[in-house]
Amino acid sequence: MESMTVREDPAVRVRLLSAEGLSKTYVSTKAVQDVSLSISAGEVIGLVGANGAGKSTLMRILSGVTRPDSGTLEVGGLPIRWDEYSPSRAAALGIRVVYQELSLSTNLTVYENFYVEHAARYRGPFRKWREEARKAARARLDAVFPGNGIDERQSLSALTIAQKQMVEIARAVDDPGLRILILDEPTSSLGVEQTEQLKTYIWGRRAQGVSFIFISHRLNEVMTLVDRVVVMQNGQVKWSGAVADTDEEDLVRRMGETVTRERSSAGPRACSEPGTGASEECSVRLTIRGLRTHGLRDIDLDLRGGSIVGIGGLEGSGQRDLLRTVFAPSGSAARSVKRVGRVAYVTGDRKKEGLFPLWSIAENAVISSLARQGGIRPVGRATGQESVRSWYDRLKVVAAGPGAPITSLSGGNQQKVLIARAMISDADIVILDDPTRGVDIQTKLQLYEIFREAADKGKLILWYSTEDEEFEICDEVHILRYGTVVRRLSKGEIDKNSVVNAYFTGEHLKPEAAAAAKVSKFDVSGIGIPLGAMLLVYVVSGILTPAVFSQFGITLLIGGSIPLILATLAQMWVIGLSMIDLSVGAFMGLVNVIGATLLETNPPAALACYAVMLLAYAGLGALIHLRQIPAIIVTLGASFIWTGIAYTILSMPGGKAPEWLTAFYNFQFPVIPFVLVIVGVVTVAAVLLHRSRYGTVLRGFGNNAAALERSGWSVLKAYMAGYFLSGVFGLLGGIFVTAVTTGADANATLSYTLLTVAAVVMGGGDLTGGIVSPLGAVFGAITLSLIGALLGFLNLSTNLVAAVQGAILIAVLALRLIGRRRSV
């Protein structure tokens, strides 16, 4: 058994969590093997280990995401039953996790993100839960990161990565019952200042008895923060002891890796020294003069092949902008950046911008060299195999062979393949975008060697790192602040301290406007454009034919658009979940057919049919989730089923609307036309549902389903609820079709399906990311349905209706794009 070293008297410490003999085996690998771990109240544990050591699996077990094959867990002295354990159960017991890949919904505001995580605590009617969640968000953010400058009412999408990380941490500690907080690489995107604030906060909470598990590759942070270090290797706890009994070198050794980080001894290379003649190596060159882009200003650099050049700075100081601009200068930047030699880009964000998940290692490795050739040049299976093989061997990739799927590799090995990709393409300028993020030390050392070797061959290595020590390998380092170079450190002056000190120079360069929120007078992404488009079409129609403004005109025009409005709102719920419903038109056709037949002759049977149809609609959502099949195809199939049934009931247009329905539709409302009342009621209902508590959750799902699931919400329920809501609005829409047309036609509303997608998007919706606006959707629907009338008033052929609808759609979206570009 491991030795349990606790600094203070064990008697005063309450044991919070104790796990015994945890094991978890995936298909072939033993991810966690017989691990025991106990945590006392107010203890901070550092969990370290190479990639694949089992840290993440262990944390997933403790937090209820993964169920182990064997082992026991006690929390607060009570044994846990694995079949009842889940992330929400863990949260209820006070165990929370801050994940490395953030679990926030970027379409929600900061405080709404707090709400979806702690929904049980923010109850009450409309204003109340919002106000409470907002206050809590403000308080937590300020408690952990004083002076954070984050507006809690802002949408997450407006925040920087570091700010999002702060929100993620603050949200996790917004739990009065918090007992153990697991932080997985929390500082990887935080700046120095925020890291210090986090440390201070952790110490404060520790004094109150909250425990922390701190996972980090940054051993210096571990050493200064924690009480006890647990070292994992190959799924087992290799060592555990007080921080006083170890040091960084010792930990690295215990992690099972021989660290031989010799400072690169070579002096400046021939090439990096200007004026050393025009040897062939010196042909690689990168010159930047007066570069000025959206995120950068006044950058002058003169770099030559044969050296490793570090690009450093506080998070978000323009480092990445610079790398991207060097890789692909666009617009005016193209004139400022002169490259002699070809470029390759190696990202550290492997999953998002590095890997091709369906491909083998070899295919992943050769793509850059292929893309360089371009066009319809032939390639065979064997193309590039030789160079792949040689790099595969040199980089000691751990896999079944170059033909193995890229996804079967660990993160560090995937990174090696990305490096190989750049090397095989034989680029002269290699851009490294934090390539060692989340990579184990052994791989790092190997990569350093490769970088040095490439530089020795005359390549220029441009290296952005978030790990300050790594700059010690560079020949020169340029420090950025507020988008410009504030310091240049040359070989002799580079050490960790001087680099970090340099980060804070140039405070006076802070741009005035940077802090102020961008407030646009005319909110283009909001409802301004759809409202404007609707009013334009309506007013022009009215000028041409004044009767449009009369009671009768309104009843005719707006009344006729009610079915499309309802159909659009039906579509909106599905688009809000980042899916598309291609069956809403067919569904309304079936509702219409039943409404003009069965509803008249046998109302109870008709209502039963409607109930079954609603359930079927919710069932579509369930199917999409359970089988992970694309909504677009499922709903396409469903549309055939709806139309088929409608045909079977009524093969030709006909039927008759029930009299009570036509009577309701023609109801004489005092003062304002009744159709406006209907539109108003429907719109308000949609807005209220949209902004309700569960509506907020649904929007969260549309943006980041995995995160909402971890917060304890059921994906199945959400999808079913979304489709059910869609079904309800579709049902109402179909009934209004019956009321407006007083008859039935299975085909009448088929064209609505695509129109609704257009209307939702025109109204400010995005097809991904859970961004929709009920008000905008209504405006969009009215605009599209008024076009026919407008063309009639203009004496234009109705043949043009479709074309004008298409043109307006594109125009509205193009306007929105221009507006967005301007506000950036």
Partner 1 sequence: MNKVTARFRAFAEAQRWIWAAGGSFLLWLGMGLVSSRLNLESLVSNSMSAAFLAIAAIGQMYVISCGRGAIDLSIPGVITITAFLSTGIINAQDANILQGVAVSLAAGALVGLANGIIILFLEIPPIIATLATGYVLTSASLIYNEGFRTFNSAPLLVTLTRGRFLGVPFMFLVTGLLALAAWWLLKRTVYGRSLTAVGQNVEAAALSGVRVRRVQLAAYVISGLFSGAMGVLLAARVSGAFLGMGDSYLMETIGAVVIGGTLIFGGRSTVLGTLFGCLFFVIIVTAMQVAGFDVGVQKIVKGVLIILVLVVATEKPVRN
Among 139, 379, 535, 612, binds partner 1 (CB under 8 A): 379
Give 222 or 427: the residue with its C-beta nearer to partner 1. 427
Give 414 or 696: the residue with its C-beta nearer to partner 1. 414
Strand 429-433, strand 285-291: pairing: unpaired
Min separation Cβ 125 and partner 1, Å: 37
Give 377 or 508: the residue with its C-beta nearer to partner 1. 377
Min separation Cβ 761 and partner 1, Å: 5
Min separation Cβ 807 and partner 1, Å: 7
Give the range of 37-45, 104-112, 529-537, 811-819 binding partner 1 by CB under 8 A: 811-819
d(CA 574, CA 719): 8
Closest CA to 729 of 593, 562, 609: 562
Q: Three-state DSSP class for 713?
A: coil
Min separation Cβ 766 and partner 1, Å: 8
d(CA 608, CA 50): 60
Per CB under 8 A, 359 contacts partner 1? yes
Q: Three-state DSSP class for 806?
A: helix
d(CA 52, CA 33): 13
Give the range of 100-108, 458-466, 560-568, 753-761 binding partner 1 by CB under 8 A: 753-761
Q: Are 157 and 188 in contact (CB under 8 A)?
A: no
Give 645 or 782: the residue with its C-beta nearer to partner 1. 645
Compute the chain's Rg from CA coordinates: 31
> Segment 400-429, which members bind partner 1 (CB under 8 A)?
405, 407, 421, 425
Among 103, 109, 639, 711, binds partner 1 (CB under 8 A): 639
Among 643, 704, 738, 741, binds partner 1 (CB under 8 A): 643
Min separation Cβ 729 and partner 1, Å: 20
Give 139 or 632: the residue with its C-beta nearer to partner 1. 632
Per CB under 8 A, 382 contacts partner 1? no
Per CB under 8 A, 805 contacts partner 1? yes
Residue type, 83: D
Among 127, 377, 518, 521, binds partner 1 (CB under 8 A): 377
Per CB under 8 A, 629 contacts partner 1? yes
> Segment 646-665, which members bind partner 1 (CB under 8 A)?
646-649, 651
Sequence-ordered strand ranges (E) for 227-278: 228-233, 236-242
Q: Three-state DSSP class for 167?
A: helix
Q: Are 361 and 402 in contact (CB under 8 A)?
A: yes
Per CB under 8 A, 715 contacts partner 1? no
Q: What is the DSSP letter of 46?
A: E
Per CB under 8 A, 640 contacts partner 1? yes
Per CB under 8 A, 824 contacts partner 1? no
310, containing H or E segment: strand 307-313
Sequence-ordered strand ranges (E) for 50-170: 70-75, 78-79, 95-98
User: What crossing angle do the helices spanning 715-741 and 584-595 adopt, rounded to 10°?
Assistant: 50
User: Which residues have CB under 8 Å from 190's CB, separation 6+?
Assistant: 162, 165, 166, 198, 315
Min separation Cβ 510 and partner 1, Å: 31
Token reading at 166: 């702060």
Per CB under 8 A, 637 contacts partner 1? yes
> Total residues contacting partner 1 (rule CB under 8 A)?
79
Give the range of 208-216, 224-232, 481-489, 752-760 binding partner 1 by CB under 8 A: 752-760
Sequence-ordered strand ranges (E) for 9-120: 15-25, 30-40, 44-49, 70-75, 78-79, 95-98
Per CB under 8 A, 580 contacts partner 1? yes
Residue type, 785: S
Min separation Cβ 400 and partner 1, Å: 14
Give the range of 385-393, 551-559, 645-653, 683-691 binding partner 1 by CB under 8 A: 645-653
Token reading at 268: 């400046």
Per CB under 8 A, 344 contacts partner 1? yes
Q: Are 503 and 312 in contact (CB under 8 A)?
A: yes
Q: Are 751 and 560 in contact (CB under 8 A)?
A: no
Min separation Cβ 351 and partner 1, Å: 5
Among 419, 761, 778, 790, binds partner 1 (CB under 8 A): 761
Q: Three-state DSSP class for 57?
A: helix
Per CB under 8 A, 797 contacts partner 1? yes
Min separation Cβ 255 and partner 1, Å: 24
> Segment 296-335, which members bind partner 1 (CB under 8 A)?
327-328
d(CA 610, CA 614): 6
Per CB under 8 A, 398 contacts partner 1? no
Token reading at 287: 């010159």
User: Which residues have CB under 8 Å from 594's CB, separation 6+?
Assistant: 606, 609, 610, 649
Per CB under 8 A, 615 contacts partner 1? no
Q: Are 228 and 5 in contact (CB under 8 A)?
A: yes
Per CB under 8 A, 634 contacts partner 1? yes
Give the range of 53-61, 185-193, 253-261, 620-628 binding partner 1 by CB under 8 A: 620-628
Give the range of 10-18, 70-78, 641-649, 713-721 binding partner 1 by CB under 8 A: 641-649
Per CB under 8 A, 591 contacts partner 1? no
> Segment 516-575, which members bind partner 1 (CB under 8 A)?
none
d(CA 781, CA 381): 51
**N- to C-terminal Cα distance for the chain?**
58
> Segment 27-66, which members bind partner 1 (CB under 8 A)?
none
Q: Are 172 and 96 in contact (CB under 8 A)?
A: yes
d(CA 398, CA 440): 13
Per CB under 8 A, 802 contacts partner 1? yes
User: Which residues have CB under 8 Å from 356's CB, separation 6+?
Assistant: 363, 364, 367, 406
Residues 253-282 as x/- pattern, contact with partner 1 by CB under 8 A: ------------------------------
Per CB under 8 A, 809 contacts partner 1? yes
Min separation Cβ 359 and partner 1, Å: 7
d(CA 309, CA 470): 11
Per CB under 8 A, 437 contacts partner 1? no
Give 299 or 623: the residue with its C-beta nearer to partner 1. 623
Give 175 or 428: the residue with its C-beta nearer to partner 1. 428
Residue 615: count of CB within 10 angstroms of its CB:
13
Q: Three-state DSSP class for 600?
A: helix
d(CA 587, CA 737): 12
Give the range of 7-15, 343-351, 500-508, 688-696 binding partner 1 by CB under 8 A: 343-351
Among 314, 638, 718, 790, binds partner 1 (CB under 8 A): 638
Per CB under 8 A, 810 contacts partner 1? yes
Give the range of 48-56, 63-71, 375-383, 565-573 binding partner 1 by CB under 8 A: 375-383
Per CB under 8 A, 628 contacts partner 1? yes
